[in-house]
Chain A
């Protein structure tokens, strides 16, 4: 059963790396460190799941990072400038991000732009929007103040699961950051959508073969727009998580997140050829990047070597994935 899980090799690599770091650094397997990895990379995993939708639909969303920045700044402005309490501002910020995702989808479907080009354009445009609406530039006195809203601040919470289930007496378990719980909910919802709904099936059909999907009576455009909207929705959730963590929104929030999320999604088995992917792989992909960075720092490897090693691990993982795919294709050709 486990072998059928598309990311089996990835899971093995993850376990091996995890074990290696645990052996080489005593601190790595500590509850506090696991906590930090969870809180430091859950948001990347949420974005990677979002990213998987356009990728499965044979597209890509380069604008996720800028979209996160946009959502964060909208939340900051609504709360700090307009004094809106968190319970009103948070849904509005998430809605803005989802709409920004919808716009990406419309550019790809209605204007028939290449997803790469369309979202590259919105990457720049959304980031420009962040600067234009930045409450920290419009009202310089806000730049060095932190958000005090209890609704937003309370989102940077940790849940002590160990004490809940009564295991705390036996072993020190990491407290789970709220962002990880959001991730679990998102992953569960996304996996359900992908594997158990009509939309999930349509999405894979559209990504695998758009013409065939069209002939089968699937509204290709609608499916694609939905895929980008979901990516935007995930960006909105991440924006809220990050603002809670930072207690402010910076103009640079989300900068450079697009490539790691694409890498995580692809490592996690979402094929850039379209049509293939699941919601759990991207999570493994994101945390693989996370444990690599944290583990190498704890072992004391210099930052430059870290970047080289991270690159090599990425290459290795993608190469393995590709090789497996080729083998499967060859096997399918032989059998067919």
Chain B
């Protein structure tokens, strides 16, 4: 699977417009606050006579889904008639499928989902759609079409990471990618964005290793130690999430090669920002993940109360959240209440 970089402009534009529409709707709700909304939600409540049910099925316990969940709760708790639950997929697709089934039977109105596998979750999404339940994916897209997808701009962000990272490396040298496991679209988006970014801005930089470390700091330490043994002349590493990049920083510190190694992460979690301020991690793509959760929740409220059936969504709305590339010189812009 490759990212359709050569996709015709027009469909790109249509996607963009759809995102803007969805984004505006989402913003509208989150800005409007309870007073304005209570009238329409009150009607929905009067009609059904009970609370709406929404659940977020996360990949596994991690800083990113925890922050989304907080953002989602920010918005949903203000509505006053929504029961919200955070459920743990335990990084196992069969657990997620079982949780999806339970939610569908339980009459959930919206399911937020961070799929463990973009393909294997497909049959469950079909089942949810058949039951009229909109599914909103966060960050990790699913192959099966669904109501909406809210992501951190993986492709464009990774391209910018490649640009900044290559600049810090002086436009030459060897890099390694510490990657996510295959089978999830985010892996392709971030990897391809990074590769295309290097090709475009720094064609002399060579990618010598690309290995999965399953999003995990500890695993990344082991994987990078092995890579370093095979390629001691590596001067740049892209960790496809911050946890893995911090694992690389751990190894660099231990081996005393910190000054020589440019390390970039992705996501922008608190630990990564602190590491950048301490001069250890070189940079990351920072997204306000609370805000991302709020966007998703706001879209969910619109879907659940607007009388819109999931089957009326022929293709998903694609909402990309803005980001900055945080490095030592820019990390100060990120306010304390935006750190997660």
Taken residue by residue from 92 to 109, chain B's Cβ proximity to chain A (1 for < 8 Å, 0 otherwise) reads as 111001110110111100
Is A39 a contact of B182 with CB atoms below 8 Å? no
Is B188 a contact of A144 with CB atoms below 8 Å? yes
Known A144-B118, A247-B120; contact A40-B106, beta-carbon cutoff 8 A: no
Known A36-B105, A297-B102; contact A246-B119, beta-carbon cutoff 8 A: yes
Chain B residues near A192 (CB, 8 Å)?
none
Is A146 a contact of B122 with CB atoms below 8 Å? yes
Q: Which of A27-35, A162-170, A219-227, A262-270 contacts B (4 or more CB under 8 A)?
A: A27-35
Q: Looking across the interface, which residue of chain A has its beta carbon closest to that of B98?
A: A40
Q: How far is the CA of A180 from the CA of B120 in the complex (A)?
A: 20
Q: Does B117 contact A (CB under 8 A)?
A: yes
Is A252 a contact of B92 with CB atoms below 8 Å? yes
Is B119 a contact of A145 with CB atoms below 8 Å? yes
A93 smallest CB distance to B (angstroms): 17
Q: Looking across the interface, which residue of chain A has its beta carbon closest to that of B55?
A: A297
Chain A residues near B88 (CB, 8 Å)?
303
Is A36 a contact of B1 with CB atoms below 8 Å? no
Q: Does B77 contact A (CB under 8 A)?
A: no
Chain A residues near B91 (CB, 8 Å)?
252
Q: How far is the CA of A115 from the CA of B148 in the complex (A)?
A: 49
Is B105 a contact of A242 with CB atoms below 8 Å? no
Q: Which of A222-277 contact B (CB under 8 A)?
A: 242, 245-248, 250-253, 255-256
Q: Does A300 contact B (CB under 8 A)?
A: yes
Chain B residues near A255 (CB, 8 Å)?
92
Q: Looking across the interface, which residue of chain B has its beta carbon closest to that of A147?
A: B119
Contact of A298 among B2, B83, B102, B182 (CB under 8 A): B102
Contact of B119 among A43, A146, A252 (CB under 8 A): A146
Is A36 a contact of B182 with CB atoms below 8 Å? no
Q: How far is the CA of A256 from the CA of B92 in the complex (A)?
A: 9
Q: Does B123 contact A (CB under 8 A)?
A: yes
Q: Does A136 contact B (CB under 8 A)?
A: yes
A60 smallest CB distance to B (angstroms): 22
Q: Does B87 contact A (CB under 8 A)?
A: yes
Q: How far is the CA of A43 from the CA of B181 in the complex (A)?
A: 24
Contact of A297 among B99, B116, B120, B181 (CB under 8 A): B99
Chain A residues near B104 (CB, 8 Å)?
32
Chain A residues in contact with chain B, CB under 8 A?
27, 30, 32-33, 36, 39-40, 43, 134, 136-137, 140-141, 143-146, 156, 242, 245-248, 250-253, 255-256, 293-294, 297-298, 300, 303
Other A-B contacts than A251-B181, A252-B92, A298-B102, 10 sampled, CB-CB below 8 A, are A30-B105, A32-B105, A33-B105, A141-B1, A144-B185, A245-B97, A246-B93, A248-B117, A297-B99, A303-B87
Q: Which 3 pairs from chain A and chain B are nearest by CB?
A: A246-B120, A36-B101, A144-B1
Chain B residues in contact with chain A, CB under 8 A?
1-2, 83, 85-88, 90-94, 97-99, 101-102, 104-107, 116-120, 122-123, 143, 181-183, 185, 187-188
30 CB < 8 A contacts A-B: A27-B105, A27-B106, A32-B104, A32-B105, A33-B102, A36-B101, A39-B101, A40-B94, A40-B97, A40-B98, A134-B182, A137-B182, A144-B118, A144-B119, A145-B1, A145-B119, A246-B97, A246-B117, A246-B120, A247-B122, A250-B93, A250-B117, A250-B120, A250-B181, A251-B182, A252-B91, A252-B181, A255-B92, A297-B102, A298-B102
